[in-house]
Structure 1
Amino acid sequence: MSRYVVFDVETPNHMNNRMSAIGISVIEDGRITEEYYTLVNPEQSFDYFNVQLTGISEQSVKDAPNFPMVWDKIKPIMNSGMLVAHNAVFDLGVLKHCLEGYGIDWKPYVRYMCTVQMGRRLIPGISHKLNVLCDHYGISLNHHQADSDSRACAEILLRYFESGADAKNHIRTYSFRKE
């Protein structure tokens, strides 16, 4: 696979079942070729903690599209390559809850890679938090901003590939089946 869809979501509250923003960076042939970002109206309340962390509030998203409107735009991108995220199970879980919450059927499962898990195997002995890895590699980061986080994750993935990592050794499967 030579196309990777690297994504990051921000959430409005502790339930982590809706997103308030999504960022996507697409890697093709060893470089970032496409980026997408939008705020998302989660149609839920915001927790103070999440607002402080992300800077996204109910006021920020009042005119933003809701998840089904965003899904119509991003589904072709999400279908177009291997999904990748930093701490991927979190981002995939939020995506799964959004799909279920709005009654949207997608795939029963997806193949994905997690840059946290990759990093633990490829560069043991350091923290694999996104900001720490960005400092390690000299990657610019505006942390907890979905567009910046997805781009940083894509840059980290490219660094892993440059160091000889083989994607086949890091592919996992995530189930989107209803539980």
Structure 2
Amino acid sequence: MTRYIVFDVETPNRYNNRISAIGISVVEDAKIIKEYFYFVNPGQRFDWFNTQLTGISAELVADAPTFPQLWKVIEPVMSSGILVAHNASFDMGVIRKCLRDYGIAWKPQVRGLCTVVMGRRLCPGISHRLNDLCDYYGICLNHHHADSDSRACAEILLRYMEMGVEPEKFVRVYNMW
């Protein structure tokens, strides 16, 4: 039995080195068994574009935990399986930058997979943007909301598994430091 930790992050600005929200969906035995959502106070200014895209503002997250505070809560979950994201290089990169910038030691490398990479190999010729795949598979999506995006990514992973795909064949190593 493989455990997948599907996650999505939202960022406050164009630098993509801080998190303003994170959604996590845990997949085991080909079903979503647990979901988490947290706002994060990034301690940085918000770009107008990011606030318009995500609906998250500095005022909304003023009382939210900082990344180091939240990491203590989510690290056991993030360490408990193969990490999965839609466009994983972005989400893994944001986590890596947060860990590095806050001086938080974690694993130097993690196993993860990207549902965009999977999809391009499995279903060539269609758009692999998250909203387009959700339309294609009939998955509900409130796009650019971390909880909805992580759940949608988990649902896409499950669709691929229903097709008989072994996700482990798509796992790669991501450097986290």
| TM-score, L = length of structure 1 | 0.98
CA distance in 2, matches of 1:167, 1:10: 25
TM-fit CA distance, 1:168: 2.5
1:84 counterpart = 2:88: no
Which structure 2 residues correspond to residues 9-158 of structure 1 after superposition, within 5 A?
Answer: 9-158=9-158
Q: Structure 1: state its 5+ residue gaps.
A: none
CA distance in 1, matches of 2:77, 2:17: 21
TM-fit CA distance, 1:169: 1.7
TM-fit CA distance, 1:176: 1.3
CA distance in 2, matches of 1:126, 1:39: 33
Q: Which residue of 2 aligns with 1:3?
A: 3
TM-fit CA distance, 1:166: 1.1
What is the CA deviation profile of residues 123-169 of structure 1, one whole-angstrom value per residue up to 9, with x for unaligned ones?
00001000000000000000000000000000000000000111222
TM-fit CA distance, 1:85: 0.2
Q: Structure 1 stretches (4+) deviating beyond 2 angstroms?
A: none
Look up the SS of the partner of 1:58 in the other structure.
coil
Q: Structure 2: state its 5+ residue gaps.
A: none
Q: How many residues align?
A: 177
* RMSD between superposed Cα atoms in Å: 0.6
What is the CA deviation profile of residues 54-87 of structure 1, one whole-angstrom value per residue up to 9, with x for unaligned ones?
0000011001000011101100000000000000
Q: Which residue of 1 aligns with 2:167?
A: 167
TM-fit CA distance, 1:2: 1.5
